[in-house]
Structure 1
């Protein structure tokens, strides 16, 4: 083949065109994979939510809420994070635990139970993206934590784990709360057996940043038991009958819509 023809095929313009076509093809494959992932998230979570909704209905028939709790959690300050100037804002608002910049453009509300498999699936698929958006000041998350899946374990794991998480929030602050919350979902015990006992919850809470001397008694005594019952009752009053339930700026949303928001 003549040399001139070979050179014509490999001109800078031709190479740039091939590079652009390859980049566009890669972009299309990545977009397709994101759509596939979002559809998978939505399908799996929807199936699990249907099961959880049935259990919720059964549990509500045995409701024992209404009493005033003796103990109400708060959000401890983190002097170290405050001194460094990188503390993530957090506060308790009724039964909502608000994490992130209150001036963020969007607010995402998530109702969840620490024993809920669909909630663990949501956290596994989108938890990192949620944390990154919080840290970037793009969203504020309103965590609505409740407990109606004690019957899914042999040792009331759902309410004991939530009590432990609230104790960490109250004594160690938002950063430890976030770390403990993520750990409990990443290592969620299987339904039908025992969840972590108090010693294991305490050990994991310490690894997340809490002090054992400040949390052991309150975890073992389940000091927020009544508050948790009332928070769970409030979920029903809010018109929520399954977990996870997601709302974006107060409007009902599904995992796919949340994933799309986090990709913006």
Structure 2
């Protein structure tokens, strides 16, 4: 009869740990395959809609109202943030990597990417490993009966402008977690305001911006700029300025 020596127990422990690592790696690969499949499935549709949107002439039209980040309302954990042009930057400017994500709040592939990698990406930002640039655009108004895409983005910018980074991130994540189905009605203005307040905004401050669609022209210009930048689908991911895919992003924020 073989003896249950400490060496044998340690060997079994190591084999079990290795099996667990392999299982976790396989599960991560499976999730990424699912993300890539969804992204690939919508690229053709999204590309056509992007061309429809960017073909509208918005040149020469300057936005009357430009979003900002509420004064003195940096992230509660000290994570820095700024708005530069059409980019909403969150994280340390000296972080080793910068991740840029072009996204539409009505885009199903964007919601899927957020569901799979949103939390590890946020953790990497908060840990100072990644600086995240949101390039939020709107071209999927035709995918709803009440122009949800542009209205939702306008509301997100209103939250950023009146309540700051923490509230914006919470609102952004909530809208993706409860994304309306394409082809129907998105949230009403009242529902957007309620969700904004739940995320940390003040109703009296955010409601006028939501109901007035005060960032409408800025959103059109941001969307047009995406086309000028040479990108025609969402989500589009750039890592340090180079177009990448969800697998590369997963490797960056989770490790291979």
Same fold (TM over 0.5): yes
Compute the TM-score of the two structures, normalised by the length of structure 1.
0.92
Cα contact 2:170–2:199 (8 A) shared by 1? yes
User: Offset of 1:170 from its aligned partner?
Assistant: 0.6
Q: Does 2:118 correspond to 1:127?
A: yes
User: Offset of 1:65 from its aligned partner?
Assistant: 4.6
Q: Does 2:110 correspond to 1:116?
A: no
User: Offset of 1:38 from its aligned partner?
Assistant: 1.7
- 1:128 and 1:239, CA in 2 relative to 1: closer, same or farther beyond 3 A? same
**Residues 39-98 of structure 1 deviation map (CA, whole Å, 9 limit, x = unaligned):** 22212222123321122122333344530111111111345x67x7x2321111000000
Cα contact 2:138–2:223 (8 A) shared by 1? yes
Q: Stretches of 4+ moved more than 6 A in 1?
A: none
Match in the other structure for 1:150? 141
- Picking from 103, 122, 136, the partner of 2:127 is 136
- Picking from 149, 153, 157, the partner of 1:162 is 153
- Picking from 203, 211, 219, the partner of 2:202 is 211
Match in the other structure for 1:240? 231
| Corresponding residue pairs, total | 255
Q: Does 2:244 correspond to 1:253?
A: yes
Q: Which has the larger radius of gyration?
A: 1
Which moved further from structure 2: 103-112 or 56-65?
56-65
Give 5+ residue unaligned stretches, structure 1.
none
Compute the TM-score of the two structures, normalised by the length of structure 2.
0.95
Alignment partners' CA distance in 2, 1:167 and 1:65: 24
Match in the other structure for 1:179? 170
Give 5+ residue unaligned stretches, structure 2.
none
Match in the other structure for 2:17? 23
Cα contact 1:134–1:141 (8 A) shared by 2? yes
- 1:65 and 1:209, CA in 2 relative to 1: closer, same or farther beyond 3 A? farther
**Residues 181-205 of structure 1 deviation map (CA, whole Å, 9 limit, x = unaligned):** 0011111111111111100000000
Kindly report the root-mean-square deviation, in angstroms, between the aligned alpha carbons of the 2 structures: 1.5
